[in-house]
Structure 1
Amino acid sequence: MAKIPFLAGLAIGYVLGSRAGRERYESIKNASSKVWQSGPVQKGVHSVEEKASDLGREYGSMVTDKVAATVKSKVFGQDNSGAPRPTPPQPQP
């Protein structure tokens, strides 16, 4: 039932988009490119890149350690406390 409004919106968007044509598409594309290249937007992009890099350095080893512990527990059958997990019963042939 929820698919019907989505498909209707998709069809309407397609029809309106095709009526606008290539010229309007190029106009929108050029305007969005100018906005993306503007100073304030690029300043924000660089700020986010720096923050992501800082967070990666800060939390990278913690994430690596957590992933390694999880993999070890799955591969070697131990939980995080180091105690072995019980082995599930094997099916008899």
Structure 2
Amino acid sequence: MGKLSFIVGAGVGYVLGARAGRERYEAIKRGSNKLWQSPTVKKGVHKVEGKVSDVARERGSVVTDKVASAVKAKLGENQTPPPTPPQPR
């Protein structure tokens, strides 16, 4: 994944930093669209999406429980709620 991130980052940096004009920008854009539409890249994207979904499903409740515990510990479970402000008449 590191090489792919580097290549994507380098491509984005080149596009954002390029001063070759609109024609070069459009050529880069066409090339990147062609790359993203290639079956190999699509297959890799679907594979990563599936893995992320699986991990999120497996780990989601664990993360939620840990966050809830941390928030409760920080706020204090037995803390009384703040007083209600007076209502305007």
TM-score, normalised with respect to structure 2:
0.65
1:27 aligns with 2:54: no
**C-alpha RMSD of the superposition:** 1.9
Could you tell me which residue of structure 2 aligns to residue 55 of structure 1?
A: 55
CA distance in 2, matches of 1:51, 1:27: 33
Match of 1:69 in 2: 69
Q: Size of the alignment, in residue pairs? A: 63
Q: Which aligned segments of 4 or more residues in structure 1 are displaced greater than 2 angstroms?
A: none
Unpaired runs of 5+ in structure 1? 1-12, 79-93
Cα shift at 1:21: 1.0
Matched, 1:37 2:37: yes
| CA distance, structure 1, for counterparts of residue 70 and residue 24 of structure 2 | 52
CA distance in 2, matches of 1:62, 1:72: 15
CA distance in 2, matches of 1:52, 1:62: 15
Structure 2: which 5+ residue stretches go unaligned? 1-15, 79-89
Return the index of the structure with the highest Cα Rg: 1
